[in-house]
Chain A
Amino acid sequence: MNRLANFYKGKKVLITGHTGFKGVWLTAWLNQLEAQVIGYAIQPPSDPNSFEACRMTDHMTHISGDVCNASQVEEVFETHKPDIVFHLAAQSLVRYSIDEPANTYSVNVIGTVNVLEAARKCDSVKAVISVTSDKCYKNQNWQWGYRETDELGGLDPYSSSKACAELVVSCLSNPRYQKSAGSKTVTPIASVRAGNVIGGGDWAADRIIPDIFRAIVNKDDVTIRSPNSTRPWQHVLEPLSGYLWLGVKIVEQPDAFLGGWNFGPKNDDIWTVQDIVNGILDRWQTKNTKLIIDEDKSGAESQLLKLDCSKAQQLLDWSAIWNVPTVLDAIVAWYQQYLLEPNADMYPLLITQIKQYSADAEKAGHAWAKAH
């Protein structure tokens, strides 16, 4: 049993947005750690989706609801009295946000106010991890990685709404605010900033991995707009290990692990969009799908994005574990099983990959993965 299992076993954990790609992986991991998971979210974001492919309703308490509904959010807290809260519910698509900014800001800003307020008012809650994005930083087009103290902002509604969500956290996590709002004890709230998470089970629109597998299924080519763009690609389990470990540390020492936290890959492991597509197509060994480059110079998405994860490295002893080839192996394994075995329950593969990742982390000597 590693230190995460030692902590989460038997804990009540509330996840908002558990029907999303990241939420499913987090739920599976917490189940593997023997936590009791309660999820609050709207319907899964796509069809197909990993929530259904993994039969998640068998593995948790699933509550259907919208984070914009403040009274229902409070009711969920009052009924289930969670120990730890992971707030993942968000409108997470850049392209959609350009067409629907109002919905994006409502969910990402007011939704965060609702969840953090409900958590503050609920005595059982010992730690809240609010998930925003690495896109919350104002793009400076510089060559350095963004640090947690850098200026917030965003050039598309999604990024800007995540910058606003960060400000909501900075306001509601303030002990002075909480005390003046009538809290007897301060509820520790931290925000986590990761992005470009990839892994099995994502079917969102306009994301590179789902786009590649849709193309493979349909025997289409993959067209990319920014072949040389780099993103801090990382397997979804990497930031999740950081979120889970941060939850442990906050409960152990409530005032020592607050503020924002970047979780990103190592700086020598940054791949371009082109490399990712070729890596997957090579592994799949398909002749029906080719890479087409149709370069878009409008600059709609920022070209250079790198995170400085020194804070997590120094204070949490956290860093990314899987290199990009390992990540691509895991992803291809996932989608191949899904496509070759129609209607297969994908949950066991989630657990297998989580165990593999935890074993690799233990071997590499990461603090959270050590046997307790």
Chain B
Amino acid sequence: MSFWSGKKVFVTGVSGLIGQHLLAHLSELGAELALFTHSSIIMPTDIPNYNKFKGDISNKQDIETALVKFPADLVIHLAAQSQTSNENIRDTFQTNTLGTLNLFEAVSAVRPNASVILASSIAVQFPDNMYAPSTYAASKQCAEIIAQNYSAARGINCMVIRLGNTYGPGDHHNQRLVPSLIQAMLNKEKIQLRSNIDTETNLLYVEDAVNGFLLVGEYLLQDKRLYSALTLCANMNVTTRELVSSLSKILDLSANVALNENLSLKVAEHAILPSELLVSTLGWQPKVKMSDGLEQTVNYYRQTLNIQGTD
């Protein structure tokens, strides 16, 4: 019997890339699941049964009502606005910062013994302390400050997972680097980059990310450690140039990149590495080679876009 058998896990943000993969694994491992979602999304048929709570992360009462009905052992907070734009800056803070506050308020009111995992991003580790690089990074760092506050002041058992840029099958965010490259290449369109082609990205395959969540969840539930922030990412960065070349090989076609010298080159000042606790204590390592991960992802988009590659 697996560790997760019968464990009650409450997940927000179930329709995102990590949410889909994480739920599939938790379900297979026998966890009892509660899905908190604002939309009436259709869940994949391979998750046999789960509790579903319709609600809005901006509404504390919705979360509290769900948690009253579902005695969660673990709460995994994935719900966030990751595609931010300048028109919705208020919504970004409302969802990512105050949404996290609502979640912690509800947990401390109704399920103070539950453990919480807050999904964050390596974007919060910005070296410049004068300017936050993005609304997303600032709103997520605020969420971490709130998590830390609830852990210290209310004793909520909590860990933050700062993720690298996760990619894999099932990503609906078409503006993200990997989906946008694959789709442009499959459609034989010219690739328009938003930053210099030698910009580095820390890419993490979704199955490796999910594996990290499961290990951290198990650790939290067994060990009851109070607050820490872990970095869950690849051991090395990849440039967009390398990424395009890998995809060209997988797709067996040459990429048509619109080169633009004016795009700024963002090079990581220091390598971001996975946290010591993950690697040494929990034995986590990214296992999926980038070429394999990209191939899986390409296959997904081939099916969903219904586009034939060059056979």
- Chain A positions near chain B (C-beta within 8 angstroms): 70, 98, 101-102, 105-106, 109-110, 113-114, 117, 149, 152-157, 160, 163-164, 167-168, 170-177, 180-182, 258-259
**B295 is an interface residue with CB less than 8 A from chain A:** no
**B132 is an interface residue with CB less than 8 A from chain A:** yes
Are A174's CB and B131's CB within 8 A? yes
| Complex interface: chain A residues within 8 A of B93 (CB) | 109-110, 113, 168
Are A160's CB and B90's CB within 8 A? no
If the complex has contacts A117-B89, A168-B93, are A156 and B130 also in contact, measured as CB distance less than 8 A? no
Are B135's CB and A177's CB within 8 A? yes
Are B89's CB and A170's CB within 8 A? no
Are B149's CB and A155's CB within 8 A? yes
Are A258's CB and B130's CB within 8 A? yes
| Complex interface: chain A residues within 8 A of B130 (CB) | 170, 258-259
Q: In the complex, what residue of chain A is closest to B264 when comparing beta carbons?
A: A176
With the chains together, A317 CA to B125 CA distance in Å? 33
If the complex has contacts A167-B138, A174-B132, A258-B130, are A114 and B145 also in contact, measured as CB distance less than 8 A? no
29 residue pairs of the A-B complex, CB under 8 angstroms, read A98-B153, A102-B102, A102-B105, A105-B97, A105-B101, A109-B93, A109-B98, A109-B142, A110-B94, A113-B89, A149-B129, A152-B145, A153-B145, A153-B149, A154-B145, A155-B149, A160-B148, A160-B149, A164-B142, A167-B142, A168-B93, A168-B142, A170-B129, A170-B132, A171-B131, A171-B132, A177-B131, A177-B134, A181-B86
Are B135's CB and A171's CB within 8 A? yes
Please report whether the interface of chain B is mostly helix, strand, loop or mixed according to DSSP: helix
Q: In the complex, what residue of chain A is closest to B138 when comparing beta carbons?
A: A171
Q: In the complex, what residue of chain B is closest to A173 when comparing beta carbons?
A: B131
Interface size on B, residues (CB 8 A): 29
A109, A172, A181 — most chain B CB neighbours (10 Å): A109
If the complex has contacts A153-B148, A155-B153, are A170 and B86 also in contact, measured as CB distance less than 8 A? no
**B60 is an interface residue with CB less than 8 A from chain A:** yes
With the chains together, A258 CA to B148 CA distance in Å? 28
Are A113's CB and B90's CB within 8 A? yes
With the chains together, A117 CA to B132 CA distance in Å? 16
With the chains together, A237 CA to B137 CA distance in Å? 35
Chain B 83-127 interface 0/1 with A at a Cβ cutoff of 8 Å (1 = within): 000100110011001100110010000000000000000000000
Q: In the complex, what residue of chain A is closest to B94 when comparing beta carbons?
A: A110
Q: In the complex, what residue of chain B is closest to A104 when comparing beta carbons?
A: B101
Q: In the complex, what residue of chain B is closest to A149 when comparing beta carbons?
A: B129
Are A110's CB and B146's CB within 8 A? no
Are A102's CB and B101's CB within 8 A? yes
With the chains together, A113 CA to B88 CA distance in Å? 11
| Complex interface: chain A residues within 8 A of B153 (CB) | 98, 155-157
**B141 is an interface residue with CB less than 8 A from chain A:** yes
In-complex Cβ contact of A167 among B98, B102, B141 (8 A): B141
| Complex interface: chain A residues within 8 A of B142 (CB) | 109, 163-164, 167-168
| Complex interface: chain B residues within 8 A of A152 (CB) | 145
Q: In the complex, what residue of chain B is closest to A300 when comparing beta carbons?
A: B153
**B152 is an interface residue with CB less than 8 A from chain A:** yes
| Complex interface: chain A residues within 8 A of B135 (CB) | 171, 177
With the chains together, A70 CA to B93 CA distance in Å? 14
| Complex interface: chain A residues within 8 A of B138 (CB) | 167-168, 170-171
Are B145's CB and A164's CB within 8 A? yes
New A-B contacts (5) at CB < 8 Å, excluding given A157-B149, A167-B145: A153-B148, A164-B142, A171-B131, A176-B131, A181-B89
| Complex interface: chain B residues within 8 A of A168 (CB) | 93, 138, 142
Shortest 6 CB-CB contacts between residues of A and residues of B? A171-B138, A181-B86, A174-B131, A164-B142, A171-B132, A160-B149
| Complex interface: chain A residues within 8 A of B152 (CB) | 155
With the chains together, A259 CA to B305 CA distance in Å? 47
With the chains together, A354 CA to B98 CA distance in Å? 39
Are B90's CB and A110's CB within 8 A? yes
With the chains together, A148 CA to B137 CA distance in Å? 19
Are A109's CB and B97's CB within 8 A? yes
| Complex interface: chain A residues within 8 A of B146 (CB) | 105, 160, 164
If the complex has contacts A102-B101, A109-B98, are A167 and B89 also in contact, measured as CB distance less than 8 A? no
Chain B 290-309 interface 0/1 with A at a Cβ cutoff of 8 Å (1 = within): 00000000000000000000
Are B145's CB and A110's CB within 8 A? no
| Complex interface: chain B residues within 8 A of A106 (CB) | 98
B89, B131, B137 — most chain A CB neighbours (10 Å): B131
| Complex interface: chain B residues within 8 A of A109 (CB) | 93, 97-98, 142
If the complex has contacts A105-B97, A109-B98, A182-B86, are A170 and B145 also in contact, measured as CB distance less than 8 A? no
B94, B97, B135, B138 — most chain A CB neighbours (10 Å): B138
| Complex interface: chain B residues within 8 A of A171 (CB) | 131-132, 134-135, 137-139
Q: In the complex, what residue of chain A is closest to B129 when comparing beta carbons?
A: A149
The distance from the CB of A20 to the nearest CB of chain B, in whole angstroms, is 23
With the chains together, A153 CA to B146 CA distance in Å? 9
A117, A149, A173, A174 — most chain B CB neighbours (10 Å): A174
The distance from the CB of A56 to the nearest CB of chain B, in whole angstroms, is 30
With the chains together, A117 CA to B135 CA distance in Å? 12
The distance from the CB of B82 to the nearest CB of chain A, in whole angstroms, is 15
In-complex Cβ contact of B98 among A105, A153, A182 (8 A): A105
The distance from the CB of A90 to the nearest CB of chain B, in whole angstroms, is 15
The distance from the CB of B279 to the nearest CB of chain A, in whole angstroms, is 24
| Complex interface: chain B residues within 8 A of A98 (CB) | 153
Are B132's CB and A180's CB within 8 A? no
The distance from the CB of A355 to the nearest CB of chain B, in whole angstroms, is 36
Q: In the complex, what residue of chain B is closest to A150 when comparing beta carbons?
A: B129
Are B60's CB and A164's CB within 8 A? no
| Complex interface: chain A residues within 8 A of B102 (CB) | 102
The distance from the CB of A311 to the nearest CB of chain B, in whole angstroms, is 12
| Complex interface: chain B residues within 8 A of A173 (CB) | 131
The distance from the CB of B220 to the nearest CB of chain A, in whole angstroms, is 21
| Complex interface: chain B residues within 8 A of A157 (CB) | 149, 153
| Complex interface: chain B residues within 8 A of A102 (CB) | 60, 98, 101-102, 105
With the chains together, A230 CA to B141 CA distance in Å? 29
| Complex interface: chain B residues within 8 A of A101 (CB) | 101, 105
The distance from the CB of A12 to the nearest CB of chain B, in whole angstroms, is 26
| Complex interface: chain B residues within 8 A of A181 (CB) | 86, 89
